[in-house]
Amino acid sequence: MTVVSESALRETLDELIRCGGNKAQAAKLLKLPEMTFKNRLAQAEVRGIKPSKGIVDPNDLASLRGQIKRLETELRSQEKQTEETALIKEVIGNLARQVEALDPPQWLIRPSTKLSAPGVPTLFLSDLHWGERVFSSQINGVNEYSLRIAHERMETCIESAIHLLGIISPRFDYPGIVLPLGGDMISGNIHEELTATNELNSMPTVLDLYGVLVGVITSLADKLGAVFLPCVSGNHGRDTTKIWAKDRHATSFDWLMYRFLAKRFEADKRITFFIPDGSDAYYKVYDHAYLLTHGDQFRGGDGVIGVMGPIIRGDHKKRSRNAQIDMDYATMIMGHFHQYVHHGRFIINGSLKGYDEYAYANNFPFEPPQQALWLTHPKYKITYRMPVYVDRRREPLKTSWVSVPK
C-alpha cells in the first residue's frame, strides 16, 4: 500500500463528510479510483487522522451537538449586539436627519455678497488621544502628555485659531466655521501598553472630553456665529479587538460621543452635525468637495517615502470609487498619521498629544503637537493654510530676528 501524505488523507476525509458519507461521489469529486479512495480511508483510520477543523461528520452525534452549540452561542451574541446598538440609538434619542444624511446649513454653500469676505475657516480636530500618557523621560524630554496637558492644549488650540482668524479678518467677517472631528478622540484600550498606562479608562475619558468639546463648540458658535461638524470614527476608540468593516460606527466610543454631542446641541440652530454611519464623510464648502476619513485604511510606507506612498495610493483608490458614484471630491482630509501635511490633493492633520514613545522607538521625525487650520474661498478655493501649534512655550526664544552663520 502506497503511503499517502497526512494532508491528502485529511482531504479525503473532508470530502467524504461533505458528500454525506457517499464514497463513490467523494471519490469522483477527488478524481480518484474508488479502490484508491477506500485505501486512503483505511490509512487515515490506522494513522488516527481526523477531518479538518470545522468539518463535522454527519454521523458523529457528539460533533453535531458541539456544532449546534457553537452556532447557538454565535447567534445569541449577534442578537445581543443588535439589541445593544438599537438601545444606544434609543437612549440617545431620535436625532434630526442631519446627523446621518448631509443637510448643510445655507452659510456653508451660499457665498457672502461681500467681495472682501475671506471665506469659510476649517479647524480640523483629530487624534486627540484623550486620556493617554506620554512620558517625557522615555523620549529624551521632547514631549509630555497627560489629561492636564490635554486640557491646556485644547484651550491653546481654540485661542490660537481664533487669534489667527482675527489676523486674517479683524472684523471676523466669516459666515461660520467647519469643525471636522476626525477620530482617535480618545486613547482607548486597543493595546496592552495603553491599558496599562492610560490615565483613565475609556468611559471616564469620554465623559471628560465630552465636557471639553461642549465648551469648544459653544465658544466657536458664540465667536463665529455657526458651526458645522462632520464626524468620522478612528481606530483607537473601538471596543473590539480588530476594527470592523460592518458596524464600525456602533463599536466606537468616538461615534457614541458625537451622538451625545449632537443630542446636546439639538435645539441650537447655529450648530449642525453630520455623522454618517460609514468610515467617510462627504461634504462641500461652497462648491469645493471634501472627503473626511480617519486614515487607518492606508497602510504601508517605508523609511524613505514615509506615509506619502500609502496615502497617495489610498487617495487614488478613493477618488476612483467616488467618481463611480458621482461623489467626486477635490480634497481628502484625514488624521491617523500624526504628521501635518498640506498637499494639493489632501490634508493630513497633526495630533494634540504630539511626539510619543512609538514614534521615538521607530525613529519617526519629530513633530510638535498641532492641528490644521485653513480657509475655503468661493472663488479661489483653499487659500490661507496654517498649522495651529497647541503647546505653550515655557520660555521665550532669545535670538536675533536675522543672522548669518559663521
Answer yes or no: is 225 within a domain: yes
Cα 12 to Cα 41, 55, 64: the distances in Å are 7, 12, 20
Which one-letter amino acid corresponds to residue 169?
S
More reliable by pLDDT, 183 or 83: 183
Answer yes or no: is 339 within a domain: yes
Which one-letter amino acid corresponds to residue 84?
E
Given a cut of 90, whether residue 216 has pLDDT beyond it is: yes
Binning pLDDT at 50, 70 and 90, where does residue 116 land?
Answer: low
Residue 374 and residue 240 in one domain:
yes
Q: Is 272 in contact with 229 (CB distance < 8 Å)?
A: yes
- Our measurement of the distance from residue 84's CA atom to the centroid of its chain's CA atoms, rounded to an integer in Å, reads 21
More reliable by pLDDT, 66 or 346: 346
Mean of pLDDT values over 142-157: 95
Residues facing residue 274 across a β-bridge: 230
Residue 314 and residue 166 in one domain:
yes
Residue 30 and residue 126 in one domain:
no
Residue 195 and residue 308 in one domain:
yes
Residue 146 and residue 275 in one domain:
yes
Cα 335 to Cα 153, 185, 204, 210: the distances in Å are 17, 11, 24, 20
Q: Which of 60-69, 119-128, 289-298 has the lowest mean pLDDT?
A: 60-69
Residue 27 and residue 133 in one domain:
no
Residue 33 and residue 102 in one domain:
no
Answer yes or no: is 124 within a domain: yes
The count of domains in the chain is: 2
Whichever domain contains 315, its CATH number is 3.60.21.10
**331-387, pLDDT tens digit by residue?**
999 999 999 999 889 999 999 999 999 999 988 889 999 999 999 999 899 999 999
Binning pLDDT at 50, 70 and 90, where does residue 242 land?
Answer: confident
Residue 180 pLDDT: 97
**Position of cell 461533505?**
18
Residue 54 and residue 109 in one domain:
no
Taking the C-alpha atoms of residue 277 and residue 232, their distance in angstroms, rounded to an integer, is 8
Answer yes or no: is 85 within a domain: no
Taking the C-alpha atoms of residue 71 and residue 150, their distance in angstroms, rounded to an integer, is 45
Binning pLDDT at 50, 70 and 90, where does residue 55 land?
Answer: low
Residue 79 pLDDT: 64
Answer yes or no: is 74 within a domain: no
Taking the C-alpha atoms of residue 369 and residue 173, their distance in angstroms, rounded to an integer, is 28
Answer yes or no: is 82 within a domain: no
Given a cut of 80, whether residue 61 has pLDDT beyond it is: no
Residue 42 and residue 140 in one domain:
no
Residue 121 and residue 43 in one domain:
no
Residue 256 pLDDT: 93
Residue 214 and residue 311 in one domain:
yes
Taking the C-alpha atoms of residue 361 and residue 338, their distance in angstroms, rounded to an integer, is 15
Answer yes or no: is 175 within a domain: yes
Residue 12 and residue 122 in one domain:
no
Question: Phi and psi at residue 181, in whole multiples of 5°?
Answer: -110, 110
Given a cut of 60, whether residue 249 has pLDDT beyond it is: yes
Helix (H, G, I), strand (E, B) or coil at 34: helix
Containing domain of residue 42, as a range? Answer: 6-59
Taking the C-alpha atoms of residue 208 and residue 1, their distance in angstroms, rounded to an integer, is 72
Answer yes or no: is 67 within a domain: no
